[in-house]
Structure 1
């Protein structure tokens, strides 16, 4: 998923819905790479949509510019029912607030490489802005 901010206005959203996923007892692991670079970058949210529920709890969020490099996100969650994952990108204040995600992977069981929740994939990086859990 990629949002090109210059074709959007502040606060506009794009969502990507996963295919229906089978629930399992225990943990699930969701991994993906994300890129949020540019002044005025908005929000990237990940929600859990359980079959039969109207609420979509927030699993993960990043706000603002993160890194010039692609970063890896690892999210552990529990869900015993069929469900979907919603990726939501919200345009920030600047036309330079592009957001992208790639290489999305779902697996049953805990994340085997769960270190710092988010780890750098390559290149130079530093914390540039606020990170929320």
Structure 2
């Protein structure tokens, strides 16, 4: 998404093989102090049997708290998402993708940006595949996945 070309990198759930319906993958952030945050990200949910993309917050080992969710085919285009959270203790974000059970669809994410104490508003436009889009603000709390997955980690236990 970042480069708007086939050369770019992003994270996605592989759907070319059959998995159990609702099989899931977690991407876990670094820890953040208690407070108000906005998680901005680009997502792509396309195909006839898409599962869901979920954003959670989690304090310690407690049950994850669902903050945002989207399911089903959302068209063959990248769209921007935003989640505003106010958490009372140190926490981390969990980005969860669930598999729809068939191979006709993919879920992808890119250009994650966590901002503290900020408004959480989205631009009114979306981008189509092949165009270049730049968020313009890159901080230590942002990741476009071009070189690595930054301080996010893949949870292999889910």
TM class by shorter-chain length? 0.7 to 0.9
1:74/1:111 contact within 8 Å kept: no
Match of 2:136? none
Aligned to 1:122: 127
Question: How many positions carry a matched residue from both structures?
Answer: 118
Q: Flag structure 1 segments of 5+ consecutive residues without an equivalent.
A: 125-133
The 1:8–1:17 alpha-carbon spacing in structure 2 relative to 1, beyond 3 Å, is: farther
Please report how far the alpha carbon of residue 110 of structure 1 lies from its aligned counterpart in structure 2 after TM superposition: 2.9
Q: Give the 3-state SS of the residue equivalent to 1:20 in structure 2.
A: coil
Task: List per-residue Cα deviations over 1:26-66 (Å, max 9, x = no partner).
Answer: x2111000000011111111111013x51211000001011
With the length of structure 1 as denominator, give the TM-score of the two structures.
0.79
Aligned residue for 1:127?
A: none
In the superposition, relative to structure 1, how do residues 92 and 47 fare at CA in structure 2: closer, same or farther (>3 Å)?
same
TM-score by length of 2: 0.68
Relative distance call for 1:61 and 1:21 in structure 2 (3 A) is: same
Instruction: Specify the alignment match of 1:29 in structure 2.
Output: 38
The aligned counterpart of 1:5 is 15
The question of 1:70 aligning with 2:78 is answered yes
Runs of 4 or more consecutive aligned structure 1 residues displaced over 4 Å after TM superposition: none
- Judged with a 3 Å threshold, the aligned counterparts in structure 2 of structure 1 residues 81 and 5 are, in CA distance, closer, same or farther, namely same
Give the match for residue 154 of structure 2. none
Residues 57 and 67 in structure 2, CA contact (< 8 A), matched pair in contact too: yes
Residue segments in structure 2 that go unaligned for 5+ positions in a row: 1-10, 130-158
Structure 1 residue 114, shift from structure 2 partner: 4.5
Give the superposed CA RMSD: 1.9
Q: Structure 1 or 2: larger strand share?
A: 1
